Structure 1
Amino acid sequence: MVIEEYDVHNLDCPDCGAKIEAEINNLEEVESANLDFINKHLTIEYIEKVDNPLKRLNAIASKIDPNVQFTLAGLEQERTEKKPWFIIVAILVLTFSLFLSSPFSLILGLIAYLIASHRVIRKAVKEIASRQIFTENFLMTLATAGALYLGELIEASAVMILYEIGLYLESGAIAKSRKNLQALLALKPEKAHLKTENGIEDRKLNTIQKNQIILVYAGERIPLDGVVIKGESTVDTSSLTGEAIPVFVEPKSSVFAGFLNGSGILEIQVQNSEAESMVSRIIKLIENASAKKSDTEKFMTRFAKYYTPAVVLAAVLVFAIPSLLGYSYKIWLQRALIFLVVSCPCALVISIPLTYYIGIGKSAKSGIIFKGSIYLDLLSRVKTLIFDKTGTLTTGELSIAEIKTVPDIDQEELKLSTWLCEWTSSHPFAKAVKKAFSYKFEPSKVDAFSEFPGKGILLVYNQDRYLCGSEVFLESFGFLNLLDAGDNSVVHTVKNDIYLGCISFVDELKPGMKEVLTELKQKGVKHLSVLSGDRIPKVEKVAKELGLDSFYAALTPESKLTKLEEIINSSQDIVAYCGDGLNDAPVLARADVGIAMGKIGAQASIETADVVLLNDKPEQLKSAFGISKETNKMVWQNIFLALSIKMLVMILGIAGLAQLWEAIIADVGVTLLVIFNSLRMMKHPDG
């Protein structure tokens, strides 16, 4: 597969954009294509490399909207925003014509109409030449031509003027939403203070390499990911994590691009280039999120294909049937023209992706990354929520509760053997062991090392063979009748086929987790459960304390996946899984919605999950559910508003209670209404 990205220029009709996307998807060489109307961006996944694709893409675009043009993404182009001076001129000419008598008023009225409609008519002619009939431009031309035929010159001119004003306002509203959200993610300075042999030099970020040293002064944003090597400070991480409380950093602390340095000067050793930084990866995920469309978006795209022809057919019937029955054809032609004015589904085609786009951007500001609108939609409908235990329901910051050895085994030998095993592991058990004990480790003496995620470790060190892990892991090597650690989590250790004993750990529930789970239950989640590799008594205790509906313990990573499969297959509901993204990647990937809940910087969680929570506070999980439900509610609110107002205009038109200019105000108005309704989400508090 080959993925190519393009910028889209001069596209102001969302319905045309949907048609262009459909035509590109029909190409044999294209696996999938996604045209993002809001960001004016096209992403195509080709089956194989294609020569000169731009020529073919622009040919497709010109058939549907001759003004649209594609260029390779990232090419700098001079853009000048064209002011709609012709609209002002048309308004002045039309207004002046009202004070004149015939034939001068007629001539000026016609001039006003031609000024206001020249763009629409020109586009309509090109579209007809390329056999595109049911387009907004053609239907507007037809509707106003009908008004001219009926002698309604002023109304025809007013309709075109109002239509162009509406397009300008719609474009401005969408551009505003895009700028607002892009501003939320403008987290990096353009340059960094690089420490060199000649002193401190300001360099562009893309010229700075890994392991170079940069300085960050008080009040500045950290430009690149790295590790503090000198200095102490408090940093504001809220721009990425949504966490309002500043974090203290010192030498050996990891920091990320976008963090705001509160006080003091920090010397930082760069760990990632600009392109590989955490904030760059997050922004890329958000930009690509529009490609993973929700079922609602897909349905409305299909609906829009049939909506316009259906309304045009209704217009024909509204005119034809009464006329054939002997009623005044002029009256019914005027009423039928109203149907043509409201036949474009722009309000639906614009508002739905815009609402999801705002939901995704708002989530990102709170430290929540949705990898597509499909996951915003799915999360709002989750009824079964399953958790990993350690590091998700609990803090994951284990401390040693007890050290137990078998007779004739020295406790120091057990501690050293366990420490050696856990030295290269990042598991919470390993962190607790390394925090509690300190010995000398020589990498050159490692003869063999294997870590079995969720099970244990096999180490050959200085010709001694060690096994370290769960009860199930050691039993698989034939070690039975192991020591009992009670309800606590435990690591058993073997050296040279001799069982030494075990170390047990305690872990605390995350503060606020119980309250968050209670709220999720109140807001529609029916079933809460936990899948854990920990021992049954420990998992049962956690489940009872948190009020979970079920629990599954002593599971290997493989049996976790099997159990999740069973739950999904036996349930008609959407099933979400929430874990740390480190040891349960297959389970995260298999769930209908995989939620990674962990500290920022966990690359595995960024890659694996559908939803990423960049801090491990339970409140962020509640916010994710809240934003998803708010977004879904807003989507259906906009659908109802758009369809109901259009239907009302049609009914009033049939009854003779609406004029053509009133219909265009209603049509443009409903599009603006749903856009501004979506923009309200940016001001709402999370969830």
Structure 2
Amino acid sequence: MGKEVKRKWLEIGVGTLFYLAALSTRKYQSQEKTIQCILYLIPYIIISFETYWEMLKGIRKFQFFNENLLMILATIGAFCIGKNAEAAGAMLFFQIGILIEKIAFGRTKKSIAKFMDIRPDSANLKTDTEEESVLPEKLNIGDVIIIKPGDRIPVDAVVTFGNSTIDKKALTGEYEPVEVKPGDRLYSGSINLSGGLEAKVKKLYRDSTASRIVDLVENANNKKAETENLAARFTKYYTPVVILLGILVMILPPMMLPGHETEKWIYRGLIFLVAACPSGLLVSVPLAFLGGIGAASRQGILIKGCDYVEALSKTETFVFDKTGTLTEGVFHVRAIEPKNMTEAELLDIASAAEAYSTHPIALSLRESCKSEIDLGRVDAVQEFSGFGIKAKVDGKDVIVGNYKFMVREGIFFAPANRSGTAVYVAVSGEYAGYILIDDVIRKDVRRLMQWLHKHNMEAVMLTGDNEETAHAVAKELRMDYVYAELLPEDKVEQLEEFIDSQMESEKLAFVGDGINDAPVLARADIGIAMGGLGADAALEAADIILMEDEPSRIINAIRISRGTLRSVKENMIFAVGMKVFLLVLAFFGLVTMQNAIFADMGVMLLNILNSFWVIKYPE
């Protein structure tokens, strides 16, 4: 329990004792109105201090039209007309409502924090003579750490010695442990399950995966959703309106209806102000959004803000990158078609030219080359995004790239007419053949596409791959539109055309691998990065991050977002409807101040319970 909640418990406890004491002496003090007023002022002052303090802070910022103002006006007015017990009681129940709100928010944040408790307390640093336990913040890049079975990995590192299995559930939502060996990457926040490991630190604690994920989730609620801002704006204008209506209730009926007691209508007007308090509405909206973000994080889906939860629920078009998103991004050489050289020579030259590239195609070429590449053979490497690579290999000018690169460089060649990705090679300005490579469609992509089509959403592919390969993948997945042979800037341009053509209320999401799609991820209404674990570009550019390479998790993200918005709308309709009902009852004098506050607490509790199903979204 936080200090703020404990203090509130203490205030309410002490205030309640004084309030009950005042009630117990009421019959003895019936003739002494001053003493009775003082007896009720004591608990009132104890329990209302925070309300007045918040009011003063709001006045300094010119933001004082809220529920605190309504309660202060109503209770001061009640004291002025001698309704002392009602004034103190109304403020007491109002503070109990605030306590319930704090407890609800605290428990929600605690449930998220408990799941996200992935930052380790210590690390085992290997020194020249011994093993030393240090704080993870003290580790430097290049340090060697020892990770024992059961230890949580303190920082991002690379295994240098040992074999083990790693539990990444807290990061990715994936229950199946993964095996690691020397050379494999370790992500902070994962748990070492079996064997002892030695690993070299690759990132400082503050830059490691666990630290950045926790910061993202903790700060997500700072970005307000449109609906949440609407509720705040509604309250800003709602409060002065109900204050005016309350004043009219106090003065108009006695003036227009002869014989009606002025004090009775003043009391009804004060009840009107109490009944108008929008606490139930204000607490339930952010609580539902916070619950949605927490539910998503338990599914291995990081949502950077409440506004993205809302935007995802309105998304009608999903645009996908192909390589590494719809496909695994693990290429395999399927065919080699050389000209004036052998297959082995063509593969050797292409692999050497791609020796320094980290592109998936370059990796596949190097893996297929049986001989180890001597980097001394390679010089003057130039990489052209969206085209290919130029390099000197064994002193010869080599060009390796796609169809557009050959055309741009003026190479006369015969285009491949087979499905797959063709990598063309030219040596000393002469065409030397092509290497055909294939990628594999991810296992769960078909499930995602079927779900999108079932719910009348459009699926579009943007890719730099050739037309034939792109259309073959699009046809297999039954995608609505496909745009091939696009450069990175072409993807951004095409995305902007989609955004310009959609209705204002519709949203567009781009799904990419988060490595080379940063510009498109940033430009889309919602950027969804797949396999964001340890990918800095994904964490920076994307709005939603899938921590595993599983596109079908988008289905869960959409369901959570829609469920969150449904809960928010239900809460708003119920809260506003009950307010109108209470205001009518207050006008006719059918409720007391305490009744009005009790009703508001009831609305708050029901809205909180309605929000909890999002928080408890099944694993």
Instruction: Normalising by structure 1, report the TM-score.
Output: 0.83
Q: 1:258 maps to what in 2? A: 189
Q: Is the 8 A contact 1:535 1:553 kept in 2?
A: yes
Q: 1:292 maps to what in 2? A: 223
Q: Which amino acid aligns with 1:509?
A: I
Q: 1:275 maps to what in 2? A: 206
1:644 aligns with 2:577: yes
1:88: Cα distance to partner? Answer: 3.3
Once the two structures are superposed, residues 337-386 of structure 1 have per-residue CA deviations (whole angstroms, 9 ceiling, x without a partner) of 12211344333333323322232233223221222222111111011111
Q: Is the 8 A contact 2:571 2:610 kept in 1?
A: yes
1:154 aligns with 2:92: no
Q: 2:511 maps to what in 1? A: 578
Q: 1:411 aligns with which of 343, 357, 375?
A: 343
1:83 aligns with 2:16: no
Q: 1:206 maps to what in 2? A: 137
The higher-RCO structure (CA 8 Å, 6+ apart) is: 2
Distance in 2 between residues matched to 1:128 and 1:576, nearest whole Å: 43
Distance in 1 between residues matched to 2:333 and 2:201, nearest whole Å: 34
1:645: Cα distance to partner? Answer: 1.7
Partner of 2:176, secondary structure, is coil
Q: Is the 8 A contact 1:121 1:138 kept in 2?
A: no
Q: Which amino acid aligns with 1:549?
A: D
Q: 2:368 aligns with which of 428, 436, 439?
A: 436
Q: Which amino acid aligns with 2:440?
A: E
Compared CA separation, residues 635 and 125, structure 1 to 2 (3 A): closer
Partner of 2:344, secondary structure, is helix
| Higher alpha-carbon deviation: 602-611 or 120-129 | 120-129
Written as runs of structure 1 = structure 2, the 5 A alignment for 1:61-72 is none
Written as runs of structure 1 = structure 2, the 5 A alignment for 1:88-107 is 88-97=16-25, 102-103=30-31, 107=35
Q: Note the residue ranges of structure 1 that are not aligned, 5 or more in a row.
A: 1-8, 13-78
1:110: Cα distance to partner? Answer: 4.7
| Higher alpha-carbon deviation: 310-319 or 333-342 | 333-342
Q: 1:380 maps to what in 2? A: 313
Distance in 2 between residues matched to 1:292 and 1:364, nearest whole Å: 16
1:144: Cα distance to partner? Answer: 2.5
Q: Is the 8 A contact 1:385 1:528 kept in 2?
A: yes
Q: 1:230 aligns with which of 130, 148, 161?
A: 161
Q: Which amino acid aligns with 2:221?
A: S
Q: Which amino acid aligns with 1:627?
A: I
Q: Which amino acid aligns with 2:564?
A: T
Q: 1:182 maps to what in 2? A: 113
Distance in 1 between residues matched to 2:400 and 2:125, nearest whole Å: 45
Partner of 2:432, secondary structure, is strand
1:458 aligns with 2:385: no
Q: 2:407 maps to what in 1? A: 475
Q: 2:149 maps to what in 1? A: 218
1:501: Cα distance to partner? Answer: 1.0
1:445: Cα distance to partner? Answer: 4.8
Distance in 1 between residues matched to 2:161 and 2:49, nearest whole Å: 67
Distance in 1 between residues matched to 2:323 and 2:431, nearest whole Å: 26
Distance in 2 between residues matched to 1:236 and 1:540, nearest whole Å: 38
1:569 aligns with 2:480: no
Q: Is the 8 A contact 2:47 2:92 kept in 1?
A: no
Distance in 1 between residues matched to 2:123 and 2:230, nearest whole Å: 47
Once the two structures are superposed, residues 272-324 of structure 1 have per-residue CA deviations (whole angstroms, 9 ceiling, x without a partner) of 11111011122222333334332222322222211110111111122222111
Q: How many residues align?
A: 610
Written as runs of structure 1 = structure 2, the 5 A alignment for 1:127-146 is 134=65, 136-146=67-77
Q: Is the 8 A contact 1:341 1:667 kept in 2?
A: no
Q: Is the 8 A contact 1:93 1:112 kept in 2?
A: no
Partner of 2:205, secondary structure, is coil
Q: 1:504 maps to what in 2? A: 436
Distance in 2 between residues matched to 1:604 and 1:144, nearest whole Å: 55
Q: Which amino acid aligns with 2:420?
A: N
Written as runs of structure 1 = structure 2, the 5 A alignment for 1:653-672 is 653-672=586-605
1:318 aligns with 2:249: yes
Distance in 1 between residues matched to 2:210 and 2:542, nearest whole Å: 17
Q: 2:327 aligns with which of 384, 391, 394?
A: 394
Distance in 1 between residues matched to 2:54 and 2:494, nearest whole Å: 59
| Higher alpha-carbon deviation: 360-369 or 485-494 | 360-369
Compared CA separation, residues 117 and 138, structure 1 to 2 (3 A): farther
Alignment identity in percent? 34
Compared CA separation, residues 148 and 655, structure 1 to 2 (3 A): same
Once the two structures are superposed, residues 496-522 of structure 1 have per-residue CA deviations (whole angstroms, 9 ceiling, x without a partner) of 212211111122221121122222333
Distance in 1 between residues matched to 2:72 and 2:577, nearest whole Å: 25
Q: Which amino acid aligns with 1:214?
A: I
Q: Is the 8 A contact 2:349 2:393 kept in 1?
A: no
1:10: Cα distance to partner? Answer: 10
Q: Which amino acid aligns with 2:346?
A: L
Distance in 1 between residues matched to 2:379 and 2:43, nearest whole Å: 83
Compared CA separation, residues 121 and 387, structure 1 to 2 (3 A): closer
Q: Which amino acid aligns with 1:614?
A: M
1:519 aligns with 2:451: yes
Q: Is the 8 A contact 1:97 1:106 kept in 2?
A: no
1:609 aligns with 2:537: no
Q: Is the 8 A contact 2:187 2:208 kept in 1?
A: yes
Distance in 1 between residues matched to 2:492 and 2:549, nearest whole Å: 23
Q: 2:266 maps to what in 1? A: 333
Q: Is the 8 A contact 1:239 1:366 kept in 2?
A: no
Once the two structures are superposed, residues 365-415 of structure 1 have per-residue CA deviations (whole angstroms, 9 ceiling, x without a partner) of 322122222211111101111111111111222211111112x31112101
Compared CA separation, residues 121 and 219, structure 1 to 2 (3 A): closer
Once the two structures are superposed, residues 230-254 of structure 1 have per-residue CA deviations (whole angstroms, 9 ceiling, x without a partner) of 1111111111111121111111110
Q: Is the 8 A contact 1:288 1:371 kept in 2?
A: yes
Q: Which amino acid aligns with 1:146?
A: G
Instruction: Normalising by structure 2, report the TM-score.
Output: 0.92
Q: Is the 8 A contact 1:230 1:266 kept in 2?
A: yes
1:104: Cα distance to partner? Answer: 7.9
Superposition CA RMSD, Å: 2.7
Distance in 1 between residues matched to 2:141 and 2:382, nearest whole Å: 29
Q: Note the residue ranges of structure 2 that are not aligned, 5 or more in a row.
A: none
Q: 2:552 aligns with which of 606, 609, 619?
A: 619
Distance in 2 between residues matched to 1:551 and 1:350, nearest whole Å: 44
Distance in 2 between residues matched to 1:172 and 1:618, nearest whole Å: 36
Q: Which amino acid aligns with 1:249?
A: V
Once the two structures are superposed, residues 130-163 of structure 1 have per-residue CA deviations (whole angstroms, 9 ceiling, x without a partner) of 6876454443233234334554333233212212
Q: Is the 8 A contact 1:121 1:137 kept in 2?
A: no
